[in-house]
Chains A and B, each alone.
Chain A
């Protein structure tokens, strides 16, 4: 009885020691890498913003932002506070960039970054993060295929204001998709449509 207890205590202490050492290693790695990771993310974010903005702005869009109200953020699919980035030339807003979330991807949320110019035309759509099937649904990512390019130049005007426009062709809409992975394309397309409509409304309401 006593030996069993001693053994159990020895095992528990060993396990505890390993857990403490492992936690210490994890904590120090996190602490060592945190700044570099943040800098990488900042640089990546700036590079991403530049992809959906025109090249002729003269401000810092990464810090020139307008905070959205919780209701507005929720309409864009965010469950956290969100901002909209402004690109200006000589003080005049030339383009907007903002993130929106498609909740109905094949395996979870798809985060998108949209760039829209002052006239309401889409400058670009980029997938920021997604969990779609590698090799199948991930063609929505520009790194895998140029599927997302078809949104460039679209706007919430003319035929695009109709209800059925922002859908894939299979559902009677205007946008291409790939056979076998319709769900990813469907989620992104309707989300972009909603976001463009939202921006039009937001600009009128905020009088920008």
Chain B
């Protein structure tokens, strides 16, 4: 049982990572990843929705005839996002002020529908919720990495604006890698082309690591074969 969950976690966080391997939901990823705090905000909101929609879709999967499953899933996801939007506006207003602009973006994120279709419609509720959580966290990781890359290259800071998520105490968490009075700015990194270039670098990095791991596994296999021979 636990190996199933470990497999799902590995898939979501690394192997099938939404941002780096499946390349799903790139519109919000590219648009919002200009700083760490934006990436973190969108990532957390997406994680909430993918986990909830995974559970909801899995719960009704036996009631939905196959040929109309997509409209039903879209209906569920859109209703869920609106419920999250309204509830956050009412009961977590400070957080809503920060994440509010990201939440409508999530409906356009095809990762939510893709996981509903590919995973949640075929698995029990708990596994589907776990899958949504891990897919969301994997995407959050990519968003933070891309946000950090663009923030450092584009403005010479890291963790600017975290006080929007963690309260005024976080104002001092900003790192100025370039002295603030220089007014350093590198527009290419901040504008959309920077998002494409940054994402390409991250994907290349992941492929490099995967290739190394494959080579290592291959070498180990030949070594054990030689030993046993």
Contacts and interface: CB of A to CB of B under 8 A. Distances in A.
Interface string A12-28: 00110011001001100
A36 B79 contact: no
A198 interface: no
Interface string B180-219: 0000010100110000000000000000000000000000
A33 B60 CA distance: 26
A26 B79 contact: yes
A14 B34 contact: no
Contact of B93 (A11, A29, A40, A179): A40
Nearest to A30: B86
Contact of A22 (B75, B89, B191): B75
A18 B185 CA distance: 50
Contacts of A203: none
Interface string B39-76: 00000000000000000000010011101100110011
B86 A37 contact: yes
B76 A136 contact: no
B101 interface: yes
Interface of B: 31-32, 34-35, 38, 60, 63-65, 67-68, 71-72, 75-76, 78-79, 82-83, 86-87, 89-91, 93, 101, 161, 164, 185, 187, 190-191
A47 to B, nearest CB: 11
Contacts of A40: 89-90, 93
A26 B82 contact: yes
A163 interface: no
A180 B86 contact: no
Given A40-B90, A134-B38, A180 B161 contact: no
A7 B66 CA distance: 11
A15 B38 contact: no
A123 B93 CA distance: 27
